[in-house]
Amino acid sequence: ELKVEQNPLFLSMQEGKNYTIYCNYSTTSDRLYWYRQDPGKSLESLFVLLSNGAVKQEGRLMASLDTKARLSTLHITAAVHDLSATYFCAVALKLTQGGSEKLVFGKGTKLTVNP
């Protein structure tokens, strides 16, 4: 069974600081997703990482994937209050029936950026 572990689960940081959220997973997968969720809102797709060594950046967020280590990171640079949200990583897993796949999510990291 695929397990996806994120850490930390809670992160409180000051504006302007840098930090990294880690996502480890237990079985082979070559695709990893990062989502953001604001309170009471839906999940918003941030990054799709498709191969070993993939790195994507959007604004103050940068995500990377190391499939050999089964590790993805989400790095936050010079945090601002608007980044406060819960961030989820998810790993694609093939289903036993047909060619369909599903996403298995980590528990999420609740990020609070303080002024």
Partner 1 sequence: ETGVTQTPRHLVMGMTNKKSLKCEQHLGHNAMYWYKQSAKKPLELMFVYSLEERVENNSVPSRFSPECPNSSHLFLHLHTLQPEDSALYLCASSQELGRGTEAFFGQGTRLTVV
Binding site for partner 1 (CB under 8 A): 4, 31, 33, 35, 40-45, 48, 50, 88, 90, 92, 95, 97-108
CA distance 91 to 27: 9
13/26 Cα distance (integer angstroms): 29
Rg for the chain (alpha carbons), in Å? 14
**Complex with partner 1: residue 44 or 58, whichever CB lies closer:** 44
CB of 92 to partner 1, least distance (A): 5
What are the Cα distances from residue 68, in Å, to 27, 48, 64, 80?
A: 10, 17, 12, 32
Nearer to partner 1, 106 or 111 (CB): 106
Among residues 62 and 103, whose Cβ is nearest to partner 1?
A: 103
Nearer to partner 1, 6 or 64 (CB): 6
Least distance (Å) from partner 1 to the CB of residue 54?
A: 11
Smallest gap from residue 2 Cβ to partner 1 (A): 11
Residue 82 main-chain phi, psi, to 5 deg:
-65, -15
